[in-house]
Chain A
Amino acid sequence: MSVESREARQPWILLSPALSAVALLLFVPLGFILVYSFWLRTATGADQAGFYLDNWAEALSDPFYRDILLNTLKIAAITTLVCALMGYPAAYFIARSRGNKAILLLLLMLPFWISYIIRTMSWINILGVSGAVNWVLTSLGIVAEPIQMLYNETTVILGLVHFLLPFMVLNVFVSLDGIDTTLEDAANSLGATRWQAFLQVTLPLSLPGLAAGGLLCFVLGAGTYITPLVLGGPTDAMFANLVFEAIITQLNWPLGSALSLMLLAVLGALVLLYNRYLGMAQLMKGLG
């Protein structure tokens, strides 16, 4: 074997454990899901193997699924926007702080040490009828009766923001931290105000981080089902809840497979668009 061919093979040999894991844990299950989506559920709940397009026809033509999908994308978009508005100043503050950056980053990561479900349920103790906010309001005599604040679309978005905000802050922070601060000084020395320097220098340079954080928040937000389950009202369902119901409640794995692939296709298309125009490098930096 020549040296060249051995060198050409080395990266693949080194990558083979990771590639095997991805193939076995991602592509093979996806293949199963794809096959399942062409099967049918019988009346007894058993699966009927074969090649049927019924599930796909239903998933793609039924306005019920389309409407819930659009609502899911709307909730994810609002969540992403709120995360961006709240996360950018926080990331800017951390990036520009001196000395205590590590502590601030540690504080940012702290919520990840607590279960996502517990964090979501904590809002019941904060916003519930017997929760902290209502206790303060009634104790101060601001309201006579507790206000009903939970179990609506707003609390679903609130729960999602709570869950996703650290992802946004981290991505923007990585982007801001890589910007040479002397650029702002240079802009100031050329007559720009601090606000102008931020708008015309810092913000444009940090946009890749903002976009990467936005993509993560959107994709993770659109795929969630726990938050609407815990904090949503009777009609506040997202698309992942439909997948859950098809597979768990109705035991209709074939339809659930088609629906999950549909969501995957929509979110995958967004990732591809992002990659086409911004590239995945920034996302990797944020995740790293």
Chain B
Amino acid sequence: MTRKMDDTTRYERLRERYLNGDLDRRGFLGLLGAAGLAYGVQTPFAKYARAAAEQVRFDGWGGVVSEAFREYAFDPYTAATGVNVVDGTFGGADEYISRVKASQPGEFNIAHLSGVFDYVRYHNLELSSELNEDNIPNLANVIPALVDVLRKPTGGTLSAVPYDYGTTGLAYNRKHISDDEMKEKGAMLLIDEALKGKIGGWGEWKTRIWYAALQTGQDPNGIEDMDAVWDAIRTHRDIALKYWGSGAELMSLLAEEEIYVTEAWSGRVKALQDQGHDIGYYDPPGGLGWQECLFVLRGSPMPECEELLNFMLSPETSIAVAEGQNYPPALDPNKVELTEKVKALPAFDPTGTLAGLNFFDPPYWNGNEAEWSKTFGRVQKGY
């Protein structure tokens, strides 16, 4: 009879050789030590491989978004499949990409990334995967425009599925700024001297440049006078109270009336409005739209991830998450009946074409990333 070759059998054979005198004491102990060392070295990495079939790690933005995912998507998914979802959060896409870059493949699995810009960035860093779309039948319910824009950078395949979209418009305190004034001045309110010390702004280079382009009358996806853009950013910097760095900080600054006007994420403003704060929201002409996707990273357990994506894209889950996080789902309203609450969300497009929204043009913005992000870092600090 052939014995199963496991660690116990290996040890017993080694011990037998030692007892028979085929192996000296030093050799026996040395081999035992080497086995222990090999086990110690491989264990931290093996746990990811072993856990692959049992759990999927998801990283998102935290706050109300994370709560919505947990309640409406992860817990029901785990109940239905037995696969546990480990829920992590990050403060921003930049922070997360650094963590992923420093990790081993498979350590991080699915991320709620923002926009096509990050999709391209991850792909350029060879962190993308290839989804088997046959395992995600609910992908057919997604707005085609959102899917197509993801296919282009990855040669027709997908490494992510679109999940929701929104806008980065202007939030304003209606006690101090009227709706008419906002409509009249739009993005120029962010550089209005009369509001000095009561202006905020997201300390993120792409958004700052986009709004500076609008303030200088330029197309954000085809800026011709970059000096004028940097000057507009400097003007904003000099009269702004604070650059915010997270959705929680944005909400705090607006709710505490530290600032009266800022760019803001549509869903966060809706959350403030629901809390009873008199905060208005306005997408100015040329305002910024974005989509969020669920990106599957290279080295992830693909069948489990695809199953989770399909589960999350089911209409009932997508709608529940959308209502929880206040961003419209990527579901095509021509194919899926959406609730009245979803239809009332800011940035919702009933046509399902998203033709009215402006997005970052990936080749343009990814191509200028290195130079502009660095220059913004200097301008931000007074240069």
> Which residues from chain A sit less than 8 Å from chain B, CB to CB?
41, 43-46, 64, 68, 124, 128-130, 148, 150-151, 229, 233-235, 237, 242, 245-253
Contact = CB atoms under 8 A, between A and B. Distances in A.
A252 B126 CA distance: 16
A233 B381 contact: no
A121 B97 CA distance: 26
B240 A234 contact: yes
Contacts of A43: 367, 369-370
A-B residue pairs, 8 tightest by C-beta: A44-B124, A235-B382, A130-B256, A237-B381, A234-B237, A249-B94, A151-B242, A245-B377
Nearest to B204: A249
Nearest to B203: A234
Interface of B: 92, 94-95, 97-98, 101, 121, 124-126, 197, 203, 205, 237-238, 240-243, 245, 252, 256-258, 367, 369-370, 373-374, 377-378, 380-383
A251 B98 CA distance: 7
Contact of A250 (B256, B258, B374): B374
27 contacts: A41-B370, A43-B370, A44-B124, A44-B125, A45-B97, A45-B369, A45-B370, A46-B126, A64-B383, A128-B256, A129-B256, A130-B258, A148-B241, A151-B241, A151-B242, A233-B240, A235-B381, A237-B380, A245-B377, A248-B92, A248-B94, A248-B98, A249-B205, A250-B370, A250-B377, A251-B94, A252-B374
A237 B383 CA distance: 12
A164 to B, nearest CB: 23
Contacts of A64: 378, 381, 383
B81 to A, nearest CB: 34
Nearest to B374: A250
A233 B98 contact: no
Given A46-B125, A148-B197, 5 more contacts: A44-B124, A45-B97, A234-B203, A246-B377, A248-B98
Given A229-B245, A234-B240, A242-B377, A248 B125 contact: no
Chain A contact residues: helix, strand, loop or mixed = loop
B377 A233 contact: no
B149 to A, nearest CB: 19
A128 B258 contact: yes
A68 B382 CA distance: 10
Contact of A235 (B101, B125, B237, B252): B237
A280 B383 CA distance: 40
Nearest to B99: A248
B260 to A, nearest CB: 11
A68 B360 CA distance: 32
Given A249-B377, A250-B377, A251-B98, A46 B124 contact: yes
A242 B374 CA distance: 10
B98 A247 contact: yes
A64 B252 CA distance: 32
A247 B96 CA distance: 11
A235 B197 contact: no
Contacts of B243: 234
Nearest to A250: B373
B124 A233 contact: no
B94 A129 contact: no
Contacts of A46: 124-126
A64 B379 CA distance: 10
B381 A68 contact: yes
